[in-house]
Chain A
């Protein structure tokens, strides 16, 4: 990796701080939207966490995933930490997948988000409804779980450009030496 000058380091530090501030502002905005009104709403924090995991390291992604999960727990009245565990795990996994196997493209983000959102919704249905073996519980799966998943997927289309914009403006470009580039390829 090329050695950075002190000025470059300062700019990098500033941009990184600003990027994370914007990430978290968007997360809080998503939380506020999720807790407003009485209509059924998408779990906006899942695509948001995935967006961050696509372009950041595993640790940062896991922490963000945990934070988003906690907010989901508050918004959805779930056991505090339940969704945090799920999202921290998935965020770290997604971050790893994008680092090793996948390119940060919209299609990859979309199917990954679809899978994670479905897993989150399905686990929610299993642990919060089906496990109690209530009568007509499949109605919940049809009318709530699947609907929420669908809404979440639609919201993913809107959330992705916002995070991409932040990344495009503030994510540091990776500069490799010629030797590193040759080794990588």
Chain B
């Protein structure tokens, strides 16, 4: 597959064209029968696979970093440009701002930052928390002077506080941008966008917005293959631990040096994208970092594998030239352990998780300040959610974990809380 095709999975679409990855009914029925007859299929248990499955060991973090490194958002900037090109090139453009909306865990802020750096466009720096918390609006007087180049706001979340003064800051910013007639590209997380639309009818303030299209199973396959080939030099095959079927097409991860005999009948074009990736696409709602995080969690090694040797060969271009293909085992999707919401999370937990999603992470003090609830209760809750893998703390900023996101979304929906826009 050419590199051009690899990068085609990033796409920004108009809200009406946004689609979630879904398994068609015919495929669901097929998978039901597949499951039903899996016990008598030739693949099952072949070559002692069942024995291998129970003995697989966790792949070390360093190796996972080589096989599934953090996505590079550079390719996605082309999709942004493609969506906005007519507007960027048109002198008599309609409307001064364009909003790009993407779900939590889409890397939208990073995409826009790269786009701004590449084109030397000005990025609007967000004021401090302490400024947004008060009625001091003087930072708005220091906005960059009007220019022909678009002004970039990579993360509108950084300008937002769910606080009575916070809304006024945002209202004034939008008004200022509107009156300045400055072309502006704004990135916004779908949870915040839905809140702002519900609370302030924000959608009406902007002429057009675009949604990052969810990644289908086919897109995830392209993404994981492109990630694998970015840093790893050794031919690798990814096989499902319970039945040995290929998860990613071996011809894409084999670096062109794979023995044809290794590519078995089940690696035919019809078998891809694999059932694992289809399930992953549905569970992750096609969100890149959610899918990526679950993918990393599912990688396993054979028990006799020399981890140090493997890591060296994967990372070393010269050593990998002569190396034979190695198998990375992938847990069956049903066996992947994803975080679940602790039973006693309750209404307070729902508030906390909603605030974390809408702000794209909050510092501990900000949580105490914005959620005027008992501190001891919040601390206990944060600890429980952290232990369950639902939230993570990075540099004193609490945020929802990517792997925990599907469970969080389901929990908030059950509690009737405001959802995201997608």
Judge: A and B partners, yes or no: no
Query: Which residue numbers of A lie inside 8 Å of B, CB to CB?
Result: none
Query: Which residue numbers of B lie inside 8 Å of A, CB to CB?
Result: none
